[in-house]
């Protein structure tokens, strides 16, 4: 991991991180995509071009295009796209008891948090104004499955949608055995309350949810993380279907002082690094001694990881140990990064929590491990990444509802407001608007 000292150097590091999607397309991937697209489509496409081609094929070709693309891209011949409904409860029953209990507890906590945070309709009779909060009809949840199955993503998306009152929840996830998705993903879908599961991955799965096909129902909104092709598909489809966000590789910023345990800090950084070679683990600290001990601990703990090669690539690629003069500086740099996770491992963490303005999620104190947030704390772990926490929020219950205002004025309000509306209408040249308002005054 690189070591950075001082506020100026730290700010330069943040400024050099680039944008969300450029971070996800390193040169070796550009070359691999060109080679693969030449073999599959007969042309050396870029990532956006590959995605656009896939979206168009699915839009015009429906089920046949989905099966053809799955065969050409993944080498899987699909007879049917939907996983039989009876496979879901069977998968749940076959889980080891400890894992099933864990997923069920996670589902209960996620559901409880989502219900507590759900926005509610309101109406003020004195003004005649209010707001209706209405759940979406149908939502599509994308669950990644390329490197490993992610049952936690299913739980933390489907349960939130269900808590918000969504009528139908569809899950798309890649096939794992040539036909069906991972059994643990199917089990999670059952536990969380999904209605249907389709063995579709990548940009073609996103396209199926957005456009609808003979088999896959068109959804109102698509949520869930994925690889560069999934992220690009969601970006290109924005405006045609609701999108929760475009997510990049995971990232964590640990803010620590000399009270922090270097063993725990190192474990938290490695917990992010093992996700992806493009993951970003960053330590911001005021203690040079802690920095050095964390560096040593990372080297000590790394060889024992099942995904040590992935973690090492992330540490060397995007990781950083940053020494800053004060915790004020550390929080300033954290806000500039606006990362997916901010972990405050400092004395009196609530004092500093109030100063965190940009974070996908905030973990306050040494006991609030980010890994607990990933699986069981309660809030969904689908969070804005790579600086988008400056303007975006996590996948909460409000992402699965829509709001519209309700205007129910009485005669007195209409007589009082109509001349004002008419004056504005005449000023804008909309005389019909003005006359319509004036009629209310009569």
Q: What is the pLDDT of residues 383-429, one digit of tens each?
A: 999 899 999 999 999 999 999 999 999 999 999 999 999 999 999 99
Average pLDDT, the chain: 94
Instruction: Say what percent of the chain tops pLDDT 90.
Output: 86
HSE-up (13 A, CA, CB side) for residue 50: 28
Supply the pLDDT for residue 360. Answer: 96
pLDDT band, residue 156 (cuts 50/70/90): very high
Reply yes or no on whether the pLDDT at 146 is more than 70: no
Alpha-carbon gap, residue 309 to 59, rounded angstroms = 39
Place of tokens 């799965």: 205
Strand partners, 172: 142, 198
Same fold, 2-20+249-391 and 87-243: yes
pLDDT tens digits, 227-267? 889 999 999 999 999 999 888 888 999 999 999 999 999 99
Q: Locate 4 and state its tokens.
A: 């950075």
pLDDT at 113 over 60: yes
pLDDT per residue over 217-228, tens digit each?
999 999 998 888
Q: Specify the pLDDT at position 278.
A: 87
Of 175-184, 258-267, 303-312, the poorest mean pLDDT is in 175-184
Q: What is the 8-class DSSP label of residue 76?
A: -
- Please report which confidence band the pLDDT of residue 21 belongs to, taking 50, 70 and 90 as the band edges: low
Per-residue pLDDT at 264: 97
Among the listed residues 340, 358, 370, 381, the single catalytic one is: 340
Cα dihedral 432/433/435/439 (nearest 10): 130
pLDDT at 26: 65
> Domain 87-243 is in which class?
alpha beta
Domain range annotation of the chain: 2-20+249-391, 23-74, 87-243, 409-441
Of residues 238, 185, 189, the one with CA closest to residue 210: 238
Residue 19: is its pLDDT beyond 70? no
Catalytic residue among 24, 274, 332, 341: 341
| Rounded-to-integer distance, Cα 137 and Cα 123, Å | 23
Indicate the fold that domain 2-20+249-391 takes in CATH.
Rossmann fold (3.40.50)
Residue 168 is a catalytic residue: no
pLDDT of residue 28: 74
Position 93 pLDDT exceeds 90: yes
Annotated catalytic, 123?
no
Q: What is the pLDDT of residue 20?
A: 55
Average the pLDDT over 423-437 and give the result: 97
Q: Calculate mean pLDDT across residues 293-316.
A: 96
């Amino acid at each position: 991991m690189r070591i950075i000292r001082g506020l100026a150097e730290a700010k330069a590091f943040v400024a050099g991180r680039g944008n969300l999607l450029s971070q996800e397309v390193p040169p070796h991937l550009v070359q691999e995509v060109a080679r693969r697209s030449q073999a599959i489509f007969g042309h050396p496409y870029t990532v956006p071009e590959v995605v656009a081609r896939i979206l168009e094929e699915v839009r015009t070709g429906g089920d046949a295009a989905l099966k053809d693309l799955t065969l050409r891209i993944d080498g899987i011949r699909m007879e049917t796209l939907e996983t039989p409904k009876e496979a879901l409860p069977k998968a749940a029953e076959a889980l080891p008891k400890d894992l099933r209990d864990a997923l069920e507890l996670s589902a209960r906590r996620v559901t409880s948090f989502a219900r507590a945070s759900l926005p509610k309709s309101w109406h003020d009779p004195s003004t005649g104004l209010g707001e209706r909060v209405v759940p979406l009809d149908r939502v599509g949840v994308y669950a990644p499955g390329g490197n490993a199955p992610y049952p936690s993503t299913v739980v933390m998306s489907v349960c939130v949608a269900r808590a918000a009152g969504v009528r139908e929840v569809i899950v798309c996830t890649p096939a794992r055995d040539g036909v069906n998705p991972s059994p643990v993903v199917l089990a999670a879908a059952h536990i969380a309350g999904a209605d249907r599961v389709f063995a579709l991955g990548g940009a073609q799965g996103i396209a199926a949810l957005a456009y609808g096909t003979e088999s896959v129902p068109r959804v109102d909104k698509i949520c869930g993380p994925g690889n560069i092709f999934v992220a690009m598909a969601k970006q290109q489809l924005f405006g045609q279907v609701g999108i929760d966000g475009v997510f990049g590789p995971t990232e964590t910023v640990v803010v620590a002082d000399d009270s922090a345990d270097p063993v725990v800090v190192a474990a938290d950084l490695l917990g992010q690094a093992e996700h992806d070679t493009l993951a970003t683990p960053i330590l911001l600290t005021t203690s040079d001694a802690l920095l050095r001990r964390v560096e040593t601990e990372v080297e000590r703990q790394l060889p024992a990881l099942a995904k040590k090669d992935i973690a090492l690539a992330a540490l060397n690629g995007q990781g950083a140990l940053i020494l800053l003069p004060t915790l004020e500086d550390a929080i300033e740099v954290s806000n500039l990064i606006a990362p997916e996770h901010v972990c405050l491992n400092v004395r009196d963490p609530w004092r500093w929590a109030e100063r965190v303005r940009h974070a996908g999620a905030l973990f306050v104190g040494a006991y609030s491990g980010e890994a607990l947030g990933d699986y069981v704390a309660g809030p969904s772990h689908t969070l804005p990444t790579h600086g988008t926490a400056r303007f975006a929020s996590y996948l909460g219950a409000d992402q699965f509802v829509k709001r519209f205002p309700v205007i129910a004025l009485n005669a007195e309000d209409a007589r009082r407001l109509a001349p004002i509306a008419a004056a504005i209408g005449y000023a804008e040249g909309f005389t019909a608007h003005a006359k319509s308002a004036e009629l209310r005054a009569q």
